[in-house]
Structure 1
């Protein structure tokens, strides 16, 4: 089996407009890993930071690379989940680099052995994956236009971000329902914004007329008792996202009866093989699942497609549709597109997409530049500062 000779890591930064409950995100960051092995093999993978920043992700990715360079591909694939477990015990953890590195390893193995990527993961059950469309916070008119765009592509499941203010969300959902058929499923994502069970129950009852089928993470991630209570008070199914922070959390969520559905954000759980095992355990425990998203590159979209293809049961459409479908930006030569509500799983051996070097240069950033280092130091100082200083910084930011 070919050995890994070296690993290159690129950091990508894309301009976006993502309206969320806490404000507008203007950039999204990603790791891109290129793994080189004997016999001129190249494997690629991508991951996105979660609960941390891109500088931390980059640093962790370099540490992972040092542990597997010189190892043959199969041994590296076998060792990586244990390396992930070892790192996760030591620090506030970022799984994104493990997703990127393991994908690159499997990509290289798939090309070397001429075996499909999804078969290496564990199965081949479908070649087209249904997807959902996300509607970020914006004006009611713009949100309705985005919803209409997804439905025009055959999408039958919409994820709608909410403010958790009933008077605002009622207007937004009214505009959306006016332009999409009733058979299109609407899931609202509260990002923990309702705070308490009682407040969530009151707000969700006011939104019943808009046929909300699922509410995602309505209250705080660690309030599993509150989530269990909420399940009995409202009609929509309860999905958790932030409540899942490590693979073993599926056991706790099932034990506490805190959710009907678990959203698996692969960058949050790291290795695709680890995520797949956690999904299978979720099904064994009688819960449904969804493969989530992080507004990823086309490489990340392909990762999610192969994961979905490898699972015998797919309870809900994939959430990840990528930067290209959302913002017309990517770093691959063959962007993955929605057709009739689905995205086709790439057919080639490996991950099935190729890097566009010109686009890669356009979106790559240098983490050792003075501006990035200044921002890194400023972020560190902010995180270490007392609460009253943080409040002053936030007030100053809002006034700009």
Structure 2
């Protein structure tokens, strides 16, 4: 792909408000920004979405950086590829570490789209001009949740997701449904339940939730199938789906009726499209999940969510949802509950170099020989 250099920047920024789950409370976000520079002057951007600690997956910012620096970047130096669709196969020489792989692959897709003079959404096969936007409410306070939902509904957000666990589920869901009877509401459990909690999960059926996301173990498919058979509410799988094979098995077993696709979790855009296509063929709706990411990853998510199978609003909110100032220009905006897709080549945003410099903790450049 005629690459001149790759730059890695580790950045850190405080969130406007803490992001609470029963697993972790996040007050600041550390990430890796990947820049791929071509000999022809084009640049592609990607973002590593692993967290600082391994609470969501086994990957962290440090392990992702290690994979990128010591394995993945040398790999694309040694074996040239002609198109980003070849990256996942090349990277499969190393097991898992999907978020590290996705960070570099995303940058290659952005580079390719810019070289072809196309918006990334168009290169991926998307046909829509705007996508609906959803938002996540992650707080331990019911009062705060109500306040946030009211504010986001005023801004036009189409779907609200709340974080639940056995400590707060019925209390939160019943009160929110009472206050917002027509709201498209879903609940994310982040593996807080076991099969022994089936009666508690069945009790949520009466509240008309869009779905319950990942109620059981983070790597489970079998027990989810048993629970889904007893629930009216669709189960959505998130953490369990880290590959195309996982998605295929989950659909064949009836483990879920919805799948959340995250580019970082599945190893890149190429795999995300493959999962989307299989789900679309099997009439299983998908939506694009969020990772409390910066604007680069968010812009990639917007392009992915333009594909036809993404029929449910994703966790793709505006830049100002989490950040006082994002690292991109223009920042992502939600207007009347929708995000308009950019028409310019690539992901449609540029790095805000001034802001990037302010929040960069470390930086390293890897030069390629032509």
Q: TM-score, normalised by structure 2?
A: 0.89
What is residue 72 of structure 2 aligned with on the other side?
Answer: 64
SS of structure 1 residue aligned to 2:157: coil
SS of structure 1 residue aligned to 2:27: strand
1:106 counterpart = 2:103: no
The within-5 A match list for 1:363-378 is 363-366=359-362
What is residue 390 of structure 1 aligned with on the other side?
Answer: none
The within-5 A match list for 1:209-224 is 209-224=206-221
What is residue 141 of structure 1 aligned with on the other side?
Answer: 143
CA contact (8 A) 2:102 2:263 kept: yes
What is residue 242 of structure 1 aligned with on the other side?
Answer: 239
Deviation at 1:61, TM superposition (A): 1.5
SS of structure 1 residue aligned to 2:94: helix
SS of structure 2 residue aligned to 1:46: strand
Provide the aligned C-alpha RMSD in A.
2.2
CA contact (8 A) 2:243 2:271 kept: no
Deviation at 1:76, TM superposition (A): 5.1
* CA-to-aligned-CA distance 1:15-41 (integer Å, 9 cap, x gap): 231100124122222211111111222
Deviation at 1:281, TM superposition (A): 1.3
Q: Which runs of 5+ in 1 are unaligned?
A: 369-400
* CA-to-aligned-CA distance 1:338-387 (integer Å, 9 cap, x gap): 1111111122111111111121122211389xxxxxxxxxxxxxxxxxxx
Where relative contact order (Cα < 8 A, 6+ residues apart) is larger, the structure is 2
Deviation at 1:306, TM superposition (A): 0.7
Deviation at 1:286, TM superposition (A): 3.7
Deviation at 1:130, TM superposition (A): 0.7
In structure 2, do the counterparts of structure 1 residues 23 and 109 end up closer, same or farther at CA, with 3 Å as the change threshold?
closer
CA contact (8 A) 1:99 1:270 kept: yes
In structure 2, do the counterparts of structure 1 residues 6 and 71 end up closer, same or farther at CA, with 3 Å as the change threshold?
farther
4+ residue runs of structure 1 moved beyond 4 angstroms? Answer: none
CA distance in 2, matches of 1:85, 1:248: 14
What is residue 75 of structure 1 aligned with on the other side?
Answer: 82
SS of structure 1 residue aligned to 2:211: strand
Partner of residue 333 from structure 2, selected from 333, 337, 344: 337
* CA-to-aligned-CA distance 1:47-76 (integer Å, 9 cap, x gap): 21142110111111122222224876x615
CA distance in 1, matches of 2:5, 2:297: 21
CA contact (8 A) 1:253 1:259 kept: yes
Equivalent pairs, count: 355
SS of structure 2 residue aligned to 1:29: strand
Q: Which runs of 5+ in 2 are unaligned?
A: 51-56, 365-370
Larger Rg: 1
CA distance in 2, matches of 1:70, 1:4: 12
What is residue 232 of structure 1 aligned with on the other side?
Answer: 229
CA distance in 2, matches of 1:279, 1:269: 11
The within-5 A match list for 1:382-397 is none
CA distance in 2, matches of 1:13, 1:190: 27
What is residue 382 of structure 1 aligned with on the other side?
Answer: none
SS of structure 2 residue aligned to 1:32: strand
CA distance in 2, matches of 1:211, 1:287: 19
In structure 2, do the counterparts of structure 1 residues 148 and 326 end up closer, same or farther at CA, with 3 Å as the change threshold?
farther
Deviation at 1:146, TM superposition (A): 1.4
What is residue 289 of structure 1 aligned with on the other side?
Answer: 286
Q: TM-score, normalised by structure 1?
A: 0.83
* CA-to-aligned-CA distance 1:158-210 (integer Å, 9 cap, x gap): 11101222xx3333234433543x222111111111122x41x3223433454
In structure 2, do the counterparts of structure 1 residues 209 and 326 end up closer, same or farther at CA, with 3 Å as the change threshold?
farther
CA contact (8 A) 2:210 2:234 kept: yes
In structure 2, do the counterparts of structure 1 residues 211 and 327 end up closer, same or farther at CA, with 3 Å as the change threshold?
farther
Deviates more, 1:184-193 or 1:217-226: 217-226
Deviation at 1:154, TM superposition (A): 1.6
